Amino acid sequence: MSNLPIFKRAGEEVLDYLPQALREFIQAAPEWFLSGSRRFGYNTEESDWDFIVYRPECKGPEDLPVSPADCTGVHGRGEGYADGHVLNFTVQTPHGTINCIVQDDIAELERWRLSLNTMLNLRAMGMPLNRDVSALIHQTIWEAAGCVN
């Protein structure tokens, strides 16, 4: 389990583990937030830090402020984990892997936010959370919106 502190804005300190150019890429976005198992409390030592970032001007890997070689993985729309996202990149740090899902569509970002808030509300109610619950909520939100994700 992580020994990182509780954040004033969830994820703020985690950004410090990224190279400066990637940290600024996230912080310059009109919207970004930390999501995923580390935020929901069912993480393991292998869990990523998951950031959801809204960059409407982003068109793909060519918009990264660093070479893709500086990342552990980089995928554009329709490739690997970036299916449904304009860009996905991961960076391995001494504190674990940081995964960043970049959205160029505000409706898609709001579906991610709804998924996040649903999970946080369930946690606040004392519900046991795990990957299956998260996947079900995520799938339900996307299907209700007529999306496949």
Q: What is the pLDDT of residues 89-146, one digit of tens each?
A: 999 888 788 899 999 999 989 999 999 999 999 999 999 999 899 989 988 998 898 8
Q: What is the pLDDT of residue 48?
A: 83
Confidence band, pLDDT 50/70/90 cuts, at residue 81: low
Q: Which CATH architecture has domain 12-105?
A: 2-Layer Sandwich (3.30)
* Confidence check: pLDDT of 38 > 70: yes
Q: How many CA atoms lie within 13 A of 16 on its CB side?
A: 8
Q: Which tokens go with 15?
A: 């950004």
pTM across the whole model: 0.84
Residue type (1 letter), 149: N
* Confidence check: pLDDT of 23 > 60: yes
* Confidence check: pLDDT of 34 > 50: yes
Task: Provide the b/e sequence for 40-74 (b: ≥16 CB within 10 Å).
Answer: bebbeeebbbbbbbbbeebebbeebebeeeebebb
* Confidence check: pLDDT of 82 > 80: no
Confidence band, pLDDT 50/70/90 cuts, at residue 9: low
Q: Point out the least confidently predicted range of 18-22, 43-47, 79-83, 85-89.
A: 79-83
Residue type (1 letter), 81: Y
Q: What is the pLDDT of residue 3?
A: 44
Instruction: Kindly report the number of other CB atoms within 10 A of residue 89's CB atom.
Output: 26
Confidence band, pLDDT 50/70/90 cuts, at residue 77: confident
Measured between alpha carbons, how far is 62 from 60 in angstroms, rounded to an integer?
Answer: 5
